[in-house]
Amino acid sequence: MLRFPAPRTPASLDSRNDSRNAPQRGTHDAMATPWAAVDAWMARPRSPRQVVVWLGLYLALAANWPLWIELARIGGAPSVYLPSIASMALLTVCGTVALLSLTAWTRWMKPLWFGIVLLAAGVQHYMLSYHVVMDPTMLANALQTDPAEVRDLLSWRLAFNLLWVCALPGWAIWRVRLLPQPLLSQAWRNGLLLLAVAVVAAGGAMVMNRQLAPLMRNNVGLRYMMNPVASLYSTASATIRPMFKHSRRLVPITAGTALGASYAAQSKPPLFVLVVGETARADHFSLNGYARDTTPELAARQVLSWRDVHSCGTNTLASVPCMFSPLGKLGYEVRKDDYENLMDVLQASGLAVFWLDNQAGGCKGVCDRVPHASASDQLEDGVKAALCDGDECLDDVMLRNLDARLATLPAERRAKGVVLVMHQMGSHGPAYSKRSSPDAKRFLPECTSNALAECSHSELMNAYDNSIAYTDRFLGKTIDWLKAQSGHYDPALLYLSDHGESLGEYGLFLHGLPYNFAPEVQKHVPMVSWMGDGMKARRRLSSACMTAGLDTPLTHDNLFHTVLGLMDVTTPSYKPALDALASCRGGDAVAAR
C-alpha cells in the first residue's frame, strides 16, 4: 500500500521556520550592541601572524610616547620632528613585529604576548616618570633591585599607566581565537613575515638615511627608547648573554703584596675608614660652593674636599666594582676575566679588613673574599624600630655595635692595622625623603612622593638636600668615632660617592643613563678626606700640599692607588702616578707645609 506524507499545516510550517530562524535572530540581537559587535569581531579565528602585526602596531602607538616626545623636543619645529617621528615609527613597528614574529605560534603564546605588553607598559612608565632609558646596564641594575627599593618605585600612577596600556590588548589577546596550523606551515610563514618586515625596515632606513643618520649619531639614547624592542634586547643582554659567555677566571694580583716601612716602627696601627657614598652630587655639597649649607658638620671638622672628581659609571652595579678595580675605567670595561680588587690586596698585606653594607644590593662582588656583613644584622629591636623601616635602614645604623664588629677580626691583623669600608644607602632615589631622619630635615617642605615629576622643584631639592645633610651628619659622627679611637690607632677617613643624580635637569631624573651621553650631574661626585694627626705624621703628609691640590681633576681610577699609598701597602699593581696624595707625602712635602 502506498503511503503519502501528511500535508503540512500552517502551524507546522511556522514551527519549522521558527526553529530555523531562532539562532539567526539571536545572533542579530547580540550584534545589535556595539560592544557585542566588537567582541564578536575580536573572537574571530586569526593566524598568529595577524595577531603579532596588530600587536606591533598597537605597541608602537601606545607604548612609545617617551620616544615621540623626545623627538619633538629635539626637532623643535613640526616640519623637523614629524618626519623624524614617522621614520622612527616605521623602524619601531618593523622591529617590534620582527621580534614578535619569533613568537607567532598557535600554542602557549598568549601569556608571552601579554607579558611583552606588560613589560612595554612598565618601561614606558619609568621612562615618562624619570626620563631613564632601558639600556643593558640599567636593566642589569634593575634586576638587582631589592624588595625595599621596589616598594619605593610603586605608586597608583604606575598602576594607572599599566592599566591604560595593557587593558585593551590584554582583552584582545584573551578573546582572539588562533587558527590551528601544522608546525611546518607556521614556521615558513613566520620566516616570511620576518623577511618582509626586515625588507621594509631596510628600505625605509635607506630612504630616510639622510634624516636618521645624524639624528641617531647625535642622540645615541634614542635607540634605547624604542619600546619594547630596546627593552627586550636589554633584558636578553642582561639575563641570557651572561649564560653564553665563557667562564671568567679570577686573575690574582696580590702576589708580592706587603706592608711598607712605616709599620716596622709604628707605635699605633692605622685605622682607615672608607665610606662608599650613594647617589651624591658634588654640586650639592656646600664644601664645594653650593649655596645651601648642606655640609656644616664636615666643615666644622676641617675636612678636605676635592672639587673635580668623576665616577666610573652612572649606577652602583657599574661604579662600585670599577672603583675598587686595579684596571681603571677603560680596562675594567673591556676585561675578559675578573680580577682581584683593592679589598683583596689590603687583606693580602696582612691588615684586618671589613666591609659593612647598608644596601640590600650588597657590594656587587667586591667584598666576596673578605669579612663582610649587613648593617641590619644582629640589631636590637629598639635600634631597628628607631632606624629601620622594614629592610631599609638609615646610615646611622652602621655606627651601632661597630667596636664589637671590629673585635671579631683576627687580633694579629688588627695589631697591624684596620681598614673598614662602609657602603651607604646615602641619597638613593626616588624616595629621597626616606634617606634622612625627622630631626635632620633642615629644608622643608620636602617631596615625599616617588613620582618626582609630581613634586615642585623646590620640594624635590629639599628632599634631596636633606639626604645630603644627613650624610654630612653621618660622616661627622664617623669622624668623631675615629677621634675617639686615636688613643689606640692612627685614624683617617675617605668618602667617595659611586655616582651622581639627575634632579629634573633637561627633564631627567634618577641616574643610570649610558655614560657617554649621561649629564655631568650623574658623573660629578664628591670626595672628602679627614686625616688624624697620627695618620698625617706616620705618612708624612703635608696639609698645605693637600689643600693646594683640591682642584686637581680626579676619577674613580685614583681610588685604588690612593688607598694603597695612604696605607703604605706595596704591591706590583700600585701606580704612584694615580695616587692623589703621592706628591704630598714624604720629606719634601712636609717641609713645604
Are 227 and 127 a contacting pair, CB within 8 Å? yes
Maximum mean pLDDT: which of 29-38, 200-209, 432-441: 432-441
End-to-end CA distance of the chain: 138
Domains and CATH numbers, the chain: 30-244 (no CATH), 270-534 (3.40.720.10)
CA distances from 519 to 79, 129, 501, 526 (A): 28, 17, 9, 16
pLDDT tens for each residue of 158-208: 888 899 899 999 988 888 888 888 888 889 998 999 999 999 988 888 787
Are 264 and 254 a contacting pair, CB within 8 Å? no
- Give pLDDT, residue 382: 85
- Give pLDDT, residue 19: 43
Q: Are strands 490-497 and 270-277 parallel, antiparallel or unpaired?
A: parallel
- Count the neighbouring beta carbons within 10 Å of the beta carbon of residue 404: 9
For residue 320, give the amino acid letter.
Answer: V
Q: Which three cell numbers stand for residue 507?
A: 627633564
pLDDT tens for each residue of 275-293: 999 999 999 999 999 999 9
Residue 12 pLDDT exceeds 60 = no
Residue 510 pLDDT exceeds 70 = yes
Residue 261 pLDDT exceeds 90 = yes
Tell me how far apart the alpha carbons of residues 496 and 529 are, in angstroms, rounded to a whole number. Answer: 9
Are 250 and 339 a contacting pair, CB within 8 Å? yes
Among the listed residues 254, 266, 571, 572, the one whose alpha carbon sits nearest the alpha carbon of residue 414: 266
Q: Which residue has the higher pLDDT, 239 or 455?
A: 455
Q: Which residue has the higher pLDDT, 150 or 103?
A: 103
Tell me how far apart the alpha carbons of residues 103 and 62 are, in angstroms, rounded to a whole number. Answer: 20
For residues 297-321, average pLDDT = 96
CA–CA–CA angle 325, 330, 336 (5° rounding): 70
- Count the neighbouring beta carbons within 10 Å of the beta carbon of residue 269: 19
- Give pLDDT, residue 23: 44
- Give pLDDT, residue 11: 44
The pLDDT > 90 percentage for the chain reads 57
Among the listed residues 550, 542, 490, 562, the one whose alpha carbon sits nearest the alpha carbon of residue 526: 550
Among the listed residues 90, 78, 469, 70, the one whose alpha carbon sits nearest the alpha carbon of residue 280: 469
365 three-state secondary structure: coil
Q: Are strands 554-555 and 372-374 parallel, antiparallel or unpaired?
A: unpaired
For residues 114-141, average pLDDT = 84
- Give pLDDT, residue 444: 96
DSSP-derived secondary structure letter, 180 = P
Tell me how far apart the alpha carbons of residues 418 and 406 are, in angstroms, rounded to a whole number. Answer: 8
Q: Which three cell numbers stand for residue 163?
A: 592599566
Mean pLDDT, the chain, whole residue set: 87
pLDDT tens for each residue of 512-571: 888 988 899 999 999 999 999 999 999 999 999 999 999 999 999 999 999 999 999 999
Residue 3 pLDDT exceeds 60 = no
pLDDT tens for each residue of 461-488: 999 999 999 999 999 999 999 999 999 9
